[in-house]
């Protein structure tokens, strides 16, 4: 049994180390800035979000991702800037992304806004080979020195929204970046191919106390299967978000958000995996904290659903 588990885990991590690894988030509808720089400033006030994801918990070295981002409009809300920090750890690879985004927001009508965004970021990755657990002691194929590399990267996107729906298209990383050892051919491809994201969602009023909030995220990368995340959530009395998601061929998910106040929201999500990994891990979980700052001297009465 131990050999089976070890083989499975090594296969998962080998895929992550030598191919593109896209970070999944069940609560993607509340983590748009990590995917699309054009979302910058869309809440029209200063806003911050923190999101922690523990993927396939129970498996040693499985992915753990912590994301925090902040953004705000300025100059008549036509311009917006944002900051995103992501730390992603998988196996013996730890990567930190620090990015700044800018969006120009163009009103198409009194309610509709089209935003065009760009971002630049620094990617710093470190491979810690001291964490490698070799099957054979003294295996010379495992490097003895740690590997680090820092790369720049750039992204772009477009985002169309009003208070009832949104749709966005983005390419968060335009450059291919790697951390590798040329002699031993060991390393990690952070962005071996560009990933393309199409997202969308909306709010439909069912009755006075219930709103329906569907959302979807489509991801295309030439190195991985086509990915679709579908979510159906209900908002009860503008306080509770209760929803279920399906990630194509990967998992079924549940999420609950609690709107503590018009400014402050917390949330949790749990994924139940549909792959063979279910034999070794019950799934994945996320914790979300979202805070929208009110303007000085003004009350924030309207909840920012998007």
Task: Assess if residue 63 is contained within a domain.
Answer: yes
pTM, full prediction: 0.84
Residues in the chain predicted with pLDDT less than 70, given as ranges, are 1-22, 129-146, 177-193, 295-302
Task: Assess if residue 303 is contained within a domain.
Answer: no
Give how many domains the chain has, as a whole number: 1
pLDDT of residue 59: 87
Task: Assess if residue 170 is contained within a domain.
Answer: yes
Torsion of CA 87, 125, 92, 192, to 10 degrees: 100
Range of the domain at 46: 2-292
Task: Assess if residue 52 is contained within a domain.
Answer: yes
pLDDT of residue 266: 97
Task: Assess if residue 173 is contained within a domain.
Answer: yes
pLDDT of residue 172: 92
**d(Cα 306, Cα 202) in Å, to the nearest integer?**
8
Task: Assess if residue 306 is contained within a domain.
Answer: no
pLDDT of residue 221: 85
Closest CA to 81 of 103, 105, 96, 64: 103
CATH number for 117 = 2.40.160.40
Task: Assess if residue 304 is contained within a domain.
Answer: no
Residues comprising the chain, all counted: 306
Task: Assess if residue 300 is contained within a domain.
Answer: no
């Amino acid at each position: 049994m131990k050999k089976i588990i070890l083989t499975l885990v090594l296969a998962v991590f080998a895929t992550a180390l030598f191919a593109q690894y896209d970070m999944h988030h069940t609560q993607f509808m509340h983590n748009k800035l990590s995917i699309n720089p054009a979302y910058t400033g869309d809440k029209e006030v200063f806003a911050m979000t923190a999101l922690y994801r523990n993927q396939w918990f129970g498996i040693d070295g499985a992915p753990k991702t912590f994301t925090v981002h902040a953004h705000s409009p300025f100059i008549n809300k036509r311009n917006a800037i944002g900051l995103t920090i992501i730390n992603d750890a998988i196996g013996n690879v730890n990567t930190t992304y620090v990015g700044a985004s800018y969006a120009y927001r163009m009103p198409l009508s009194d309610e509709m806004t089209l935003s065009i965004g760009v971002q630049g970021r620094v990617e710093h990755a470190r491979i810690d080979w001291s964490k490698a657990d070799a099957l054979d002691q003294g295996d010379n194929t495992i490097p003895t020195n740690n590997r680090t590399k820092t790369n720049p990267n750039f992204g772009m996107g477009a985002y169309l929204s009003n208070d009832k729906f949104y749709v966005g298209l983005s390419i968060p990383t335009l450059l291919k970046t790697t951390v590798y050892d040329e002699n031993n051919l060991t390393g990690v491809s952070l962005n071996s191919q560009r990933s393309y994201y199409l997202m969308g969602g909306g709010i439909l009023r069912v009755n006075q106390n219930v709103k329906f909030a569907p959302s979807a995220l489509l991801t295309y990368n030439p190195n991985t299967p086509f990915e679709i995340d579908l979510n159906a959530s209900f908002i009860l009395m503008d306080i509770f978000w209760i929803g279920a998601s399906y990630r194509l061929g990967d998992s079924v998910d549940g999420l609950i958000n609690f709107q503590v106040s018009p400014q402050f929201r917390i949330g949790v999500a749990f994924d139940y995996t549909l792959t063979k990994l279910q034999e070794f891990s019950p799934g994945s979980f996320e914790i979300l904290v979202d805070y929208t700052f009110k303007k000085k001297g003004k009350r924030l009465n309207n909840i920012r659903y998007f």
